[in-house]
Copies of this chain bind each other. A is one copy, B any other.
Amino acid sequence: MTTAGDSDVDPAIRAYVDRRLAEISPRVPDNRVTMVVFSGELDRQLASLVIATGAAAMGLDVSIFYTFWGLSALKRGNRLAGKNFKEKMLAIVTPGRLGQMPLSTKNFGGIGRIMLKAAMRDKQVASVEEFFAMAREMGVKFIACTMSMELFGISQDELVEGVSLGGVATFLGDAARSRVSLFI
């Protein structure tokens, strides 16, 4: 970045400072937050979305990489057509949507989830679906893990709009230039 005063400084010195900064600057993070969401549990998904929307509101770039059970957050619902037997079984036992996910603990066959959702409504906290929509509007980048899609037999047309696809290199590329990286 060249500014008014820079012309006072000898070009050889500027080149020297450039070289010295180039030794460290590629490892200085950008204003970025990256999360892996592995868990398919409503409370952990909510935590990731609260962090994502908070970070976006602070002007940070945010990526969420959805893998394994976490991937259910991006599904429109469960579809069985076109799946083989094992894929159907996996689809049946995993939630088809964000709002259907159980809690990580104290779920009590769904009562815990209902209690939490009711408490959130009472306290006028946005629902997990509203947090997801907010995150999307704020420009949070959602990435579906291609290895997990392959394993669970999920195709891109089963996912909500505006989702990118990526592998571990995509995640690491974002995480390595992030000020905060979390596994949730």
Q: Evaluate contact between B19 and A20: CB separation under 8 angstroms.
A: no
* Chain A at the B interface: SS class: helix
Seen from chain A, the residues whose Cβ lies within 8 Å of a Cβ on chain B are 1, 3, 5-6, 8-9, 12-17, 19-21, 23-25, 27-31, 33, 36, 38-41, 43-44, 47, 50-51, 53-55, 57-58, 60, 67-69, 84, 86-87, 89-90, 93-94, 104-106, 108, 112, 115-116, 118-120, 122-123, 125, 147, 150-153, 167-169, 171-172, 175-184
- Decide if B90 touches A50 in the complex (CB within 8 Å): no
Q: Please tell me if the beta carbons of B44 and A38 are within 8 angstroms of each other in the complex.
A: yes
Can you list 20 residue pairs at the A/B interface with Cβ under 8 Å?
A: A5-B16, A5-B19, A8-B12, A36-B47, A38-B43, A38-B184, A47-B68, A53-B168, A55-B168, A69-B106, A86-B115, A86-B118, A87-B119, A93-B108, A120-B151, A123-B150, A125-B147, A125-B151, A172-B180, A181-B181
A54-B167, A86-B118, A176-B180 known; A43 vs B15 contact (CB < 8 Å): no
Is A68's CB under 8 angstroms from B43's CB? yes
- Distance of A169 Cα from B153 Cα, bound (Å): 38
A33 touching B179 in the complex, CB below 8 Å, given contacts A6-B16, A16-B6, A24-B24: no
Which are the 5 A-B pairs with shortest beta-carbon distances? A54-B168, A182-B183, A8-B12, A175-B180, A176-B179
